[in-house]
Structures are given as structure tokens and as C-alpha cells.
Amino acid sequence: MQNTRKGSGMRIGELARRTGVTTRALRYYEEQNLLTAERSGSGQRHYAETAVERIHLIRQLYAAGLSSKAIAELTPCVIEGRATPELLQRLAVERNQLDRRIADLTHTRDRLDSVIDGASSNLHTGAPCPRDANAETRTDSYRLAGTQPRPEAAAG
């Protein structure tokens, strides 16, 4: 395997170009223990080919809302397959949070859809403001989905 000429691995600039992230970010990832690199005698970082996909994984987990700390704890499991029951538990927790976020965002998207529908039809009919007579009907649709910050007290 490994028929790509890479010698002792690519340096940080090439990895940055190939992944689309800045060198600053790559050093930051290393600082956060998300990424390791071999060092040449003069201290320059050299990365293996696998680093490219690893960066993409890291970016995906960031996009999924995970913190660098969480990613650092979970990537050993995801990348190397090293799974303890505790890590699996954490993975499941993150997965479920992600699931709820997706559900909330989906509700919000649908809400935006209906808003757009209503407003554009108002534009077509020339009505500037749709609170003509059926205002109450709309106030009901204001409630979207979860995402309440702290439901400590709601019923008086």
C-alpha cells in the first residue's frame, strides 16, 4: 500500500492546504490533544496521510457541537477503535444530544417554511400585514419546539 510519495510525511502547510484548515488551527488541535505529529530533528511537524481524514473527522465533530475536550476524549474510540464501556456511554450521550438538536432544528426549519409561505402569499395578495382577522390562529403557531433554556417555573 501507500504508493503516494510522501517521504517522511507532509509538513503543516501541505496538510493545511489539503484539509482547508489553517496552520494555526492545526497547531491548536495538537495543543488540545486532538492530533499528534512526528517531529523532525529541527522540530518541524510531519504528518502521515491518515491525518487528512482525521482532520475531517475533527471538523465534523466540532460541527456536531462537541467541544475540543469531548473530541479529545472520544477520538481514541472513533479513530483507533479503542472502546471502553465508559467511552461508549459518552458516545451515546453525544449522539442523543445531537439527535435532539437535529429535531429542534428541523422544527425551526419547518417553522421558517410556514413563515415564508405565509409572508410570500401575503406579498402576492398585496396584504402588508396578515394580522387582519385570524391573528389568534397564528399566535398558536408561534410555539415551535423544545429549546427552552431552563423550564424551572412555568406554571404559577
Residues of the shown chain interacting with DNA in the complex, contacts defined by CB under 7 A: 11-14, 16, 21-25, 27-28, 32, 40-45, 62, 67-69
**Distance in angstroms (rounded) separating the CA atoms of residues 120 and 64:** 32
Q: Does 123 bind a copy of itself (CB under 8 A)?
A: yes
Three-state SS at 29: helix
Buried/exposed 73-93: b ≥16 CB within 10 Å, e otherwise: bbbebbeeeeeeeeeeeebee
Complex with DNA: residue 72 or 122, whichever CB lies closer: 72
Binding mask 36-75 for a copy of itself (x = CB under 8 A): --------------x--xx-xx-xxx-xx-----------
CA angle 71, 76, 82 (to 5 degrees): 140
Q: Which does 27 bind (CB under 5 to 8 A by kind): DNA, a copy of itself, none?
A: DNA
**Distance in angstroms (rounded) separating the CA atoms of residues 9 and 12:** 10
Q: Which amino acid is at 83?
A: A
Return residues touching a copy of itself (CB under 8 A): 1, 17-21, 50, 53-54, 56-57, 59-61, 63-64, 77-78, 80-83, 85, 87-88, 91-92, 94-95, 98-99, 101-102, 104-106, 108-109, 111-113, 115-116, 118-120, 122-123, 128-131, 136, 138-139, 142-145, 147-154, 156
